């Protein structure tokens, strides 16, 4: 009998899995390509040469290790307790998981796992029907007991089992629902939305690291706002990012102002798909609810960038972001209004300070500033764009003359100590701070002038 025809776009996946398929067939075991790789092959908009392979089998973990070891460039077993063995074959990373069912205990972040013998039971425990499809690598038949291919074609997001059961198995799936709705432009079933709303507080048992990783994936989607509206409307945000709920400020009919939440999501969507920039966009106005005040001139949010930076730091630390990520996002939130303090034109001094304060975050800060303009007033939008263009041109001009990206005093600490005849001390730091302020205010002084200014400063301190 002729072999089944295979869509050409699946060829890279089948070729990558071929050595594993042969090894499992020889042992009388079945091997299936499953989950995202099957879904993405059907969608046809991903590079199948690059994606990792997710496989499932009726072989138990010990047997999987025995079968793949002769083929493996590398092998890791950290997930063995959950039935998953990682392997790299011919440069391609694969995860092979024994058919399983997993259920979270009510008070635990770790699932209890039991292994199964048939692929359909395994598929029924997966998160969504569009991910509950498998390709039998021996027969090349698609196993799709829950209609995932049809749901994908009809742009519908549903769970293989009752969504309450599915989300109880792993509450992180509620955040994954938000991501898939946005990524594939899907409409979630009413029952799915109701279940996420009902079980939102179950997100509390999911580790901060897993939530953070899911948020990061949302942040780099084409339109994160679709997912973000889902997490707000279902109440999920209250359990990992409550600052979003607070942004949906009650509108005052007298002191009219924008819905800060809608504005925030618009800013996120406008930004390029840079994870840290998008996170800064998401958090840039979280200080507004705490600083909102009403006065004769209308509503104000004085110093919301300073308050927001502190709040952003606390939230990112709670979500276990790295120190570098936290510092980047916090600094962008803190500086996001800096541009607007220079309404009367940009002096050389102002440009130097802006660049110095932004440091390595300059390009992201400039983009955040542009994205923060969501006004429908075309004249105001054009004016902001013109001023931003002017600033960037001034930065470019001064950079050619003064190496703005590495502004430092005209003298270094060794020169200061030698000239003043002092050793390492606080006075050296004070002197360098003084010289840096001169550098920012006046541009490069040259060594002779820097020494003259240093002498005058040192004399004014009484030589100490």
Q: What pLDDT was estimated at residue 289?
A: 84
Q: Is residue 207 part of a domain?
A: yes
Q: Is residue 253 part of a domain?
A: no
Give me 157's structure tokens: 């997001």
Give me 430's structure tokens: 């004070």
Crossing angle of helices 304-318 and 323-335, in 10° steps, is 160
Adjacent-strand bridge partners of 142: 135
Please give the model's pTM, rounded to 2 decimal places.
0.81
Q: What pLDDT was estimated at residue 253?
A: 41
Q: Is residue 262 part of a domain?
A: no
Distance CA 94, CA 31 (A): 12
- For residues 277 and 401, membership in a common domain is answered with yes
Give pLDDT tens digits along the chain (464 positions): 344 445 677 777 888 889 999 999 999 999 999 988 888 888 876 566 667 889 999 999 999 999 999 998 899 988 888 889 999 988 888 999 999 876 555 555 566 678 888 899 999 999 999 999 999 999 989 999 999 999 999 999 999 999 999 999 899 999 999 999 999 999 999 999 999 999 999 999 999 999 999 999 999 999 999 999 999 999 999 999 999 998 886 454 433 445 789 999 999 999 999 999 999 999 999 998 888 877 776 666 777 888 999 999 999 999 999 999 999 999 999 999 888 876 656 777 788 888 888 888 999 999 999 998 877 677 877 878 888 888 888 888 777 666 655 677 878 888 878 888 888 888 878 878 777 877 777 777 788 888 888 878 888 887 77
Among 99, 127, 154, residue at a domain's last position: 154
- For residues 162 and 135, membership in a common domain is answered with no
CB atoms closer than 10 angstroms to residue 124: 18
Q: What pLDDT was estimated at residue 4?
A: 42
444 alpha-carbon distance from chain centroid: 39
Q: Pseudo-torsion of CA 368, 369, 371, 376, nearest 10°?
A: 160
Among 154, 169, 198, residue at a domain's last position: 154
- For residues 373 and 421, membership in a common domain is answered with no
53 alpha-carbon distance from chain centroid: 23
Q: Please tell me what DSSP assigns to residue 374.
A: -
- For residues 173 and 146, membership in a common domain is answered with no
CATH code for the domain in which residue 74 is found: 3.30.460.10
Q: What pLDDT was estimated at residue 294?
A: 73
Q: What pLDDT was estimated at residue 171?
A: 95
Could you tell me the CA-to-CA distances from 364 to 275, 352, 358, 367 in Å, in that order? Answer: 11, 17, 9, 5
Q: What pLDDT was estimated at residue 402?
A: 60
Distance CA 361, CA 355 (A): 9
CB within 8 Å of 47: residues ≥ 6 apart: none
Q: What pLDDT was estimated at residue 2?
A: 40
- For residues 65 and 35, membership in a common domain is answered with yes
Q: Please tell me what DSSP assigns to residue 172.
A: T
CATH code for the domain in which residue 235 is found: 1.10.110.30
CB-count exposure of residue 228 (10 Å: 0-12, 13-18, 19+): buried
Distance CA 24, CA 85 (A): 14
Q: Please tell me what DSSP assigns to residue 3.
A: P
Q: What pLDDT was estimated at residue 11?
A: 78
CB within 8 Å of 441: residues ≥ 6 apart: 349, 352
CB atoms closer than 10 angstroms to residue 411: 21
Among 367, 387, 406, residue at a domain's last position: 406
Relative to beta strand 111-115, strand 134-136 is unpaired
Using only the alpha carbons of the chain, give its radius of gyration. Answer: 29
- For residues 399 and 279, membership in a common domain is answered with yes
Distance CA 275, CA 241 (A): 16
Q: Is residue 25 part of a domain?
A: yes
Q: Is residue 184 part of a domain?
A: yes
The sign of the CA dihedral 395, 396, 398, 404 is: positive
Q: Domain tally for the chain? A: 4
Q: What pLDDT was estimated at residue 415?
A: 85
Q: Is residue 263 part of a domain?
A: no
Q: What pLDDT was estimated at residue 6?
A: 56
Q: What pLDDT was estimated at residue 273?
A: 96
- For residues 162 and 228, membership in a common domain is answered with yes
Q: Is residue 219 part of a domain?
A: yes
Give me 158's structure tokens: 């549903």
- For residues 399 and 456, membership in a common domain is answered with no
- For residues 18 and 133, membership in a common domain is answered with yes
Q: What pLDDT was estimated at residue 255?
A: 37
Write out the H or E segment, with its range, that includes residue 104: strand 100-104
CB atoms closer than 10 angstroms to residue 331: 21
Where are the extended beta strands (E) located within 240-307? Answer: 293-295, 298-300
Distance CA 345, CA 387 (A): 9
- For residues 140 and 167, membership in a common domain is answered with no
CB within 8 Å of 35: residues ≥ 6 apart: 54, 126, 131, 133, 134
The sign of the CA dihedral 211, 215, 216, 222 is: positive
- For residues 19 and 139, membership in a common domain is answered with yes
- For residues 17 and 126, membership in a common domain is answered with yes
User: Smallest Cα–Cα separation from 367: which of 335, 320, 322, 400?
Assistant: 335
Distance CA 453, CA 376 (A): 51
User: Smallest Cα–Cα separation from 85: which of 102, 110, 62, 112?
Assistant: 62
Could you tell me the CA-to-CA distances from 409 to 215, 224, 398, 457 in Å, in that order? Answer: 41, 43, 16, 14
Distance CA 462, CA 306 (A): 37
Residues of the domain holding 381: 273-406
Q: Is residue 268 part of a domain?
A: no
């Amino acid at each position: 009998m002729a072999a089944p025809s295979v869509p050409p776009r699946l060829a890279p996946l089948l070729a990558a899995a071929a050595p594993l398929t042969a090894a499992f067939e020889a042992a009388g075991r079945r091997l299936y390509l499953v989950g995202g790789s099957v879904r993405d092959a059907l969608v046809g908009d991903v590079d199948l040469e690059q994606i990792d392979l997710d496989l499932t089998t009726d072989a138990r973990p010990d047997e999987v290790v025995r079968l793949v070891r002769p083929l493996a460039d590398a092998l890791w077993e950290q997930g063995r307790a959950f039935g998953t063995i990682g392997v790299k074959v011919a440069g391609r990373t694969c995860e092979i998981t024994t058919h399983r069912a997993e259920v979270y205990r009510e008070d635990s972040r770790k699932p209890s796992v039991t292994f199964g013998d048939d692929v359909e039971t395994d598929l029924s425990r997966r998160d969504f029907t569009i991910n509950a499809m498998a390709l039998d690598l021996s027969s090349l038949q698609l196993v799709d007991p829950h209609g995932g291919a049809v749901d994908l074609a009809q742009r519908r997001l549903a769970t293989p089992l009752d969504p309450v059961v599915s989300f109880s198995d792993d509450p992180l799936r509620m955040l994954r629902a938000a991501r898939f709705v946005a990524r594939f432009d899907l409409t979630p079933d009413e029952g799915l939305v109701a279940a996420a709303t009902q079980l939102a507080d179950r997100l509390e048992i999911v580790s901060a690291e897993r939530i953070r990783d899911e948020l990061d994936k949302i942040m780099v989607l084409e339109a994160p706002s679709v997912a973000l509206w889902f997490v707000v409307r279902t109440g999920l945000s209250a359990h990992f990012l409550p600052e979003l709920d607070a942004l949906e400020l009650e509108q005052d009919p007298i002191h009219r102002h924008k819905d800060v939440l809608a504005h925030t999501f618009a800013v996120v969507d406008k930004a390029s798909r840079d994870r840290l920039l998008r996170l800064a966009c998401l958090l840039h106005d979280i200080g507004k609810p705490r600083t909102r005040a009403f006065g004769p001139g209308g509503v104000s949010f004085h110093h919301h960038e300073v308050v927001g930076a502190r709040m952003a730091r606390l939230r990112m630390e709670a979500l276990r972001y790295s120190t570098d990520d936290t510092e980047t996002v916090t600094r962008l939130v803190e500086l996001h209004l800096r541009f607007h303090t220079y309404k009367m034109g940009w002096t050389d001094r102002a440009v130097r300070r802006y660049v110095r304060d932004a440091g390595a975050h300059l390009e992201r800060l400039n983009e955040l500033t542009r994205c923060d303009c969501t006004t429908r007033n075309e004249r105001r939008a054009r004016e902001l764009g013109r001023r931003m263009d002017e600033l960037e041109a001034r930065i470019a001009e001064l950079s050619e003359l003064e190496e703005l990206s590495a502004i430092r005093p005209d003298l270094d600490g060794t020169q200061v100590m030698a000239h003043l005849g002092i050793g390492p001390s606080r006075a050296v730091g004070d002197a360098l701070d003084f010289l840096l302020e001169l550098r920012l205010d006046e541009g490069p002084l040259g060594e002779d002038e820097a020494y003259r200014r240093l002498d005058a400063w040192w004399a004014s301190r009484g030589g100490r």
